[in-house]
Amino acid sequence: MAEVTVRGQVGPSTLADGAEQAFRQGKTGEQVITELHGRFYEQNYRGAVYSDGMGLTAINNATYTVATTDATITPVVGIWNPSTSSVNVSIIRVTVGLVMTALASTGPGGFSWSVSLGNSAITTGNTPLNRKTLALGGAQAKGYCNVAPTGKTNANVTRFGSAIGGGSAENTSFTATAVAMQTQALAFNEQFEGDFIVPPGAFVALLANTTPVANSAYSSIVWEEVPL
With CA atoms as reference, report the closest residue to 206 among 82, 60, 74: 74
Over residues 100-126, mean pLDDT? 92
With CA atoms as reference, report the closest residue to 204 among 106, 81, 41: 81
DSSP H or E stretch at residue 43: helix 41-45
Q: State pLDDT tens for residues 132-151.
A: 999 999 999 999 999 999 99
pLDDT of residue 78: 98
Separation of alpha carbons 177 and 185, rounded Å? 18
Separation of alpha carbons 56 and 184, rounded Å? 16
Q: State pLDDT tens for residues 8-65.
A: 888 777 778 888 877 888 777 777 776 678 889 889 999 999 999 999 999 999 999 9
Please determine, for residue 182, whether its predicted confidence score (pLDDT) is greater than 80. no
Q: How confident is the model at residue 178 (pLDDT cuts 50, 70, 90)?
A: low
DSSP 177: B
Q: What angle do CA 97, 102, 103 make, to 5 degrees?
A: 115
Q: Are the beta carbons of 55 and 180 closer than 8 angstroms?
A: no
Please determine, for residue 171, whether its predicted confidence score (pLDDT) is greater than 70. no
Whole-Å CA distances, 222 to 79, 106, 110, 162, 194: 10, 28, 21, 16, 12
